[in-house]
Amino acid sequence: MRFKRVLLKLSGEALMGYREFGVDPPTVFRIAKEIEEVHAMGIELAITIGGGNIIRGVAASKQGIERITADYMGMLATIINALAMQDALEKLDVPVRVQTAIEIKDVAEPFIRRRAMRHLEKGRIVIFAGGTGNPFFTTDSAAALRAKEIKAQALFKATKVDGIYTKDPALSKDARKLDFVSYGEMLAKNIRIIDATAVDLCRESQMPIIVFNLKIPGNIKKALLGENVGSVITSQEVVNGIYKEGKHAGSL
């Protein structure tokens, strides 16, 4: 096993399945089943889930809702998704707790760093909801912040693409997938597969970010076990060493 403690970032859209909106219970259960397999191997796992399957703050603000209000609506959407995932995991007898940055004491614990770390030490999965509790921050940034706070060894971003490419693979046939990319390249070239604030937070503590495709069954387990199923964002020194050895070719 490559990592002992990690944070897994799931997009809200991942919970939709083939729907256009909301939560698809069979899809949530399928993801929960993969998470259960990883948990059973002894990995201490925290999860952050987005709310894009219900509402996106930025998108809603462009349609006329005041930005701060829209962002809080998005944070509440992440709590709905966290409860759905908690329910699926509990049906698999996986111990799990939801902690939220926005206090809703009847449905979830408030976020308390020491309590979260204690849950992880006791073998419980912790789902962080409510973003950072502040407007203007994405759930990517919330995931990076929580990962730093719980001293995770890596941040895994599960998304709908299988990594980072030299060009948009949907538009360019010669686009090549890069196994390793530096934090600096991600920020300098404004690659939007993950929020820039999240990248910068991870760079401060040299925490690797692994981007992989959630839609392929089994990828959660493969990614968390260190198999090459996506792209790794890491330090320039690591990237230089890997490319110098000739293990991978190409750059952005």
- The reply to whether 229 falls in a domain is no
Whether 236 is in a domain gets the answer no
**Does residue 49 lie within any of the structural domains?**
yes
Quick check: 240 pLDDT over 80? no
Q: What is the CATH number of the domain that holds 40?
A: 3.40.1160.10
pLDDT at 172: 84
Q: What is the pLDDT of residue 101?
A: 97
For residue 196, how many other CB atoms are within 10 A of its CB? 16
Mean pLDDT for the stretch of residues 142-148: 97
165 within some domain = no
Range(s) of the domain holding residue 107: 5-160+207-222
For the chain, give the mean pLDDT.
Answer: 90
What CA–CA distances, in Å, run from 214 to 19, 108, 230? 16, 26, 10
Q: Within a domain: residue 173?
A: no
The three-class DSSP label of residue 10 is strand
Number of domains in the chain: 1
Nearest by Cα to 160 from 3, 18, 6, 48 = 18
What does pTM read for this prediction? 0.90
Greatest mean pLDDT range, 62-66, 81-85, 211-215, 233-237:
81-85
pLDDT-derived band at 243, boundaries 50, 70, 90: low
> Is 132 contained in some domain?
yes
Asked, for residue 101, whether it belongs to a domain, the answer is yes
pLDDT tens sequence across 87-110:
999 999 999 999 999 999 999 999
Measure Cα distances from 35 to 38, 65, 91, 93 in Å. 5, 36, 13, 12
Q: Is the pLDDT confidence value at 144 over 90? A: yes
Contacts for 59 with CB less than 8 Å, ≥ 6 apart: none
pLDDT tier at 242 (50, 70, 90 boundaries)? Answer: low
**Looking at the domain assignment, is residue 240 inside a domain?**
no
Q: Answer positive or negative: Cα dihedral of 22, 53, 137, 230.
A: positive
- pLDDT of 1 above 80: no
For residue 249, the tally of other CB atoms under 10 A from its CB is 9
